[in-house]
Amino acid sequence: MAWKLYDYRDHRGENPVKQWCESLQKPDLARMNKRIDLLETNGKDLCPGLAGPLSKSPHLHKIKINGSVAARLLLCKGPIQMETEYTLLLGAFERDDELPEGTLETAESYRQNILRDPKKWRSPHERAKR
Amino acid sequence: MSELRGNLREEFSDKQYRHAYADESLNTYIATQIKVLREQQELTQKQLADLTGMAQPRIAVLEDINYSSWSINTLRRLAEAFDLRLSVRFETFSSLIPEIETFSREALKRDKFENDGWFHKKDVQPAESAIWRAACLDVGQELAHQHKNSRIVEMPRRTGAAALAAGGR
């Protein structure tokens, strides 16, 4: 079953997820796009470790890339149609297995924005290219 | 052409990109297939660990798509535990596209030897015929490929009138 993917849009209407993905080095971008393709075609449950849940934030999941940097993409199921959608919220780099302070709170606030007004705060996923 | 197919066609023109994407696809395929096969054979991670002589946490690591340090020896042990053959080969990048498009739980399942119908049916004619046809097709394609890439120009054999006109040589 194919899933519908969305990207978070900031208050200027820009796509920070796409911009962050495009900042990755080419091999890391390829790995990230592969993970996003898998999410879109099979959801997160077929492939173990694709988008694990975060213990500190039950609504958030994390795609991790172990390339030249520890790139992490935070996302959530839904949050409007829980059985058919994922929304990519925020990209970040881990150091010593830790996300920068405030990352989870920011991602959760993005999710809340989308719940309040999905048309304003998200748009269909755009593939990052270099 | 699907959107994914179009994207990959464009993106794979970059060597670094296509190798990273293919590596990631390989890791995903193997890890997911180990999990799917284990579940198909109704084994727990502990039972598979016992069959392979590994520890259960090791199986959990091998079933995680973030793992990338595969060894053929480990894969052989898993193949033997599943009673399947291991296939490792080099492939073209274009052959990755249908693999990606059909990737699913069903596509990853394989029947172990005792359920491999061809070996256990009394009348194997249809299967044999199918295998024979497939083998012929492979040989035909290989010959066509060799012919296409051959630098040896085959001279037409002079027979009959042509041979006589050339002085019987």
pLDDT bin (cut points 50, 70, 90) of residue B148 is low
What ipTM was reported for this prediction?
A: 0.93
Residue B142 has pLDDT above 90, yes or no: no
Between A27, A29, A38, which is nearest B28 by CB?
Answer: A38
Cis, peptide link before residue A79, omega less than 30° from 0: yes
In chain A, the N- to C-terminal Cα span, in Å, equals 29
- pLDDT of A18 reads 96
- pLDDT of B133 reads 59
- pLDDT of B157 reads 43
User: How does pLDDT run across B9-26, given as a tens digit for each residue?
Assistant: 999 999 999 999 999 999
Decide: A42 and A31 in contact? Cβ < 8 Å. no
Residue % of chain A over a pLDDT of 70: 99
Domain locations in chain B?
Answer: 3-111, 116-147
Query: Across residues B16-43, what is the average pLDDT?
Result: 97
A123 touches chain B (CB under 8 A): no
Residues of B in contact with A46 (CB under 8 A): 32, 104-105
CATH 1.10.260.40 fits B3-111, yes or no: yes
Strand A122-124 with A4-8, pairing: antiparallel
A28 touches chain B (CB under 8 A): yes
B24–A29 CB contact, under 8 Å? no
Residue A98 has pLDDT above 70, yes or no: yes
- pLDDT of B45 reads 98
- pLDDT of B161 reads 42
Decide: A85 and A74 in contact? Cβ < 8 Å. no
pLDDT bin (cut points 50, 70, 90) of residue B169 is very low
- State chain B's mean pLDDT as an integer: 82
B25 touches chain A (CB under 8 A): yes
Query: Across residues B126-155, what is the average pLDDT?
Result: 52
Distances (CA, A) of A36 to A40, A44, B19, B62, B136: 6, 10, 17, 21, 40
**Distance from A12 to chain B by nearest Cα, in Å?**
27
- pLDDT of B145 reads 54
User: How does pLDDT run across A6-46, given as a tens digit for each residue?
Assistant: 999 999 999 999 999 999 999 999 999 999 999 999 998 99
Residues of B in contact with A33 (CB under 8 A): 7, 11, 21
Residue with the larger pLDDT of the pair B1 and B29: B29
- pLDDT of A97 reads 87
